[in-house]
A = this chain, B = another copy of it.
């Protein structure tokens, strides 16, 4: 496989500084916004009914993360997604902890049908969204990426979207192709919002996708984030200093670094 477009997309993101509209859970908005600012995007959290729809229309990309879905956020998310579809704004779904929790599960399943640009979650979340799996333990995955792979391919085909399953090696598929990203560091699982912030980065890369196929734009976000995590982990004493260093690394990482460090491989899809 030739060099991926990841570095070029990173440069494009910094040049354009796209407005990334985030409707996300109450645990991670600060970290998410700092990740977006560090990479060079312009974050805005607009989750108010009567504003979210207007904003999704002008944003470069939209993230809907259902981690703490208050009634106001649920209504705002629906409003935002309708506007995004109407305006052609790519939008990303993060189905946090779907499965046993009924409010978010119903919401995420309904939204998943509305042509998301991508869906990003862990194995348990992707399985639950597809109506399968053992179910996660809260926000953690009780299932493996391997178990979720075939289901992710089928889900991507059915919904006509990209499905990204985060794990030790990320599994990304559009139903026709499979990309695996090995960049990253286990310390990401010790920082709250480690996955949620990646979802916002996917929306940022979607905003500057140009002619790049969606699966490659989604992989680019994973690669850049993973490389930043690797750099942050070197010399971090624990998850506290790692989190601060991750923001620093996202700010500093260059397209040359990305080209040098990306660990991406393509895999054949089973017939």
Contact = CB atoms under 8 A, between A and B. Distances in A.
A8 interface: no
A239 B248 contact: yes
Contacts of A251: 190, 238-240
Q: How large is the interface on A (under 10, 10 to 19, 20 to 34, 35 or more residues)?
A: 35 or more
A123 to B, nearest CB: 16
Nearest to A96: B44
Contacts of A259: none
A44 B97 contact: yes
A261 interface: no
A237 interface: yes
Contacts of A100: 54-55, 58
Contact of A26 (B29, B103, B241, B246): B29
Given A25-B45, A48-B103, A54-B100, A249 B238 contact: yes
Contacts of A67: 45
28 contacts: A21-B138, A25-B45, A26-B26, A26-B29, A27-B33, A30-B31, A30-B192, A34-B191, A37-B189, A37-B191, A44-B97, A46-B101, A46-B138, A48-B101, A48-B103, A48-B104, A49-B103, A55-B100, A55-B138, A70-B72, A236-B248, A238-B248, A238-B251, A240-B246, A241-B244, A241-B245, A241-B247, A244-B244
Given A42-B139, A238-B247, 19 more contacts: A19-B137, A26-B26, A27-B33, A30-B31, A34-B243, A37-B190, A43-B192, A48-B68, A48-B69, A48-B104, A54-B101, A59-B138, A238-B249, A239-B248, A239-B251, A240-B245, A240-B251, A241-B247, A243-B244
